[in-house]
Amino acid sequence: MQAVQSLRCSCHEYRLLAMGQADFLTATMLKPWDHAAGQLVLAEAGGASALEDGTPYTPTRHEGRLIAASGPRMLEALQTLRPFGPAGAS
């Protein structure tokens, strides 16, 4: 991992994940129009995602921190972000 940046656009972030040009994304605003289609594309490309508590993403859940990664980087992303605390913590 070289840098952490947000494009502030889930569509483009999922595109980069699916193409293998990004390692992971994280989001706390879980609107289905931001994530449902991207989740499908990512899964078809071999990526993985889960909420911070380890449960799978569903379009009906609107709270928590979503972490999505291109393939086996999922566990590494979860472990990297866990020390920063739960979503919304300050």
Residues annotated in a binding site for Mg(2+): 34
Within the chain, residue ranges assigned H as helices are 10-18, 32-44, 73-81
Binding-site residue numbers are: 34
Q: Which amino acid is at 63?
A: E
